[in-house]
Structure formats: structure tokens, C-alpha cells
Amino acid sequence: MSRIICNSGPIIALGILARLDLLRSLFHEVLVPEAVKHENEQGGVKLSGLADFRRADWLRIVPLQHQRDALLESLLDLGEASVISLALAQKASLVLIDERKTRKVARDIYGLQVIGTARLLVEARRKNLLPEIAPQFQKLRDEGYWIHDSIVKVALQEAGELGIPK
């Protein structure tokens, strides 16, 4: 994988896990729209990972050079719309988004390839960056970051962890 545009949700999730470094390990270039940077600095779940986010000088914070698409503005929040707009402007096909509605818009309307935190964790497991991912999903839930049960189940199956005793 080479370049990815990130939304705030997965960055917050990786902050909860103290594993923002996974982005750097899995991608050659990690771009974050300015609007997403501002969202992350304003909160997220308990400001998780904010210090790591601020220290991550390898993240490329990118301002939008043109106005966002009016359709995006009407359907999504500012950060989400900025992720899709930046992907289109940069001619990048891969975006990191967890929110279902935004994923659908990115994929179905704009033809972008979408992955989420679950896929990122599976890839990290496959590349031996994580020994297992089941505890990561549990930690996310414990901290209030929800990923649907069916997505977690598929991720655990793909990682070869379904049915592993805890």
C-alpha cells in the first residue's frame, strides 16, 4: 500500500490503541486534510492519542486548494467531505474511513477504495506488526469506540483469530 487519506475516526481509534505508528508502517504516505486535523484536536474519545498525533511529523497535513463539492457538503460533515475532496484532488484512490454513510458515499458515488480501522488492523496482523487483533477490538470497545460486530467477526476470521481462547 502506498498512499492513504485519513478521516478522524480511524486516527482516534489508533490513538486509543496507542498505535498511530501502524499508519506509518503500512503506507508510504499518509495525508490528513486540515479539517480532520482540527477535528482531532477538538476532541474525539477522551482526546485519545492527541499527543501522538501532534508528534507524528510523518503525517502530511494538507489544506484543500479548492472548494468542496456541494453534494459532499450536504451529505457529510466537514472532515468527511474533506477526506473525499482531498482524495479526488490528489488522485488518490484509497481512503481510511469508519463511518458507514461516508464509506458508502466515497465508494458508490466517487469510486474510491475504502478501508476502515478493522481492515487496517488485519493488515497490521498479516505483516506481523501486531501479535493479535482481538484485544485491540476489545480495547476500542472498552474506550467507547464502536465497530459493528459483523465487521469485527470478519476481521477476526481474516486474521485467523476467530475461536482463539482469550
Could you report the per-residue pLDDT of 113-161, keeping only the tens digit for each? 999 999 999 999 999 999 999 999 999 999 889 899 999 999 999 999 9
Q: Is residue 164 part of a domain?
A: no
Q: What CA–CA distance (Å, rounded) separates 140 from 56? A: 21
Its pTM stands at: 0.90
Task: Enter the C-alpha cell of residue 113.
Answer: 477504495
Range of the domain at 26: 3-117
Q: Helices 8-16 and 117-126 sit at what angle, rounded to 10 degrees? A: 50
Q: Do 58 and 102 lie in a common domain?
A: yes
Q: Is residue 165 part of a domain?
A: no
Q: Do 112 and 135 lie in a common domain?
A: no
- Structural domain count of the chain: 2
**Separation of CA 36 from chain center:** 11
Q: Which of 162, 95, 98 is nearest to 125 (CA)?
A: 162
